[in-house]
Amino acid sequence: MKYRKKPVVIEAFIWTGGPDQNDDPLWIIEALKKPQFHNGSARIVQINPKDSIKLQIFTLEGRMTADIGDWIIQGIKGEIYPCKPDIFDATYEKVEK
């Protein structure tokens, strides 16, 4: 059998990891304020000084890491998770207001 994803509307933005990231939605700002390792929390990390910074998001499934250029999504139940650009483009389309 084949199945199609039900159409749902999500919120998302591209994480740039830089100072130009000035239009962050409130939900990611709140996630960055939550205690580390709690579901729905996030933190900016740089594991190795030679590496670019990353965004770690703690979900029910465990810790997920977003690279600069990845989409950060807030799902229909408020859950937050990263998504690679090619998967995002294949899965989502922009909703006009």
| Strand 42-45 with 11-14, pairing | unpaired
pTM: 0.83
Q: Give the DSSP letter of residue 34.
A: S
User: What band does 91 get if pLDDT is binned at 50, 70 and 90?
Assistant: very high
Sign of CA dihedral 17, 37, 27, 32: negative
Residue 84 confidence (pLDDT) above 90: yes
At 59, list the tokens.
Answer: 């979900």
pLDDT for res 19: 63
2-41 pLDDT per residue, tens: 988 888 899 999 988 866 666 788 898 899 888 877 888 8
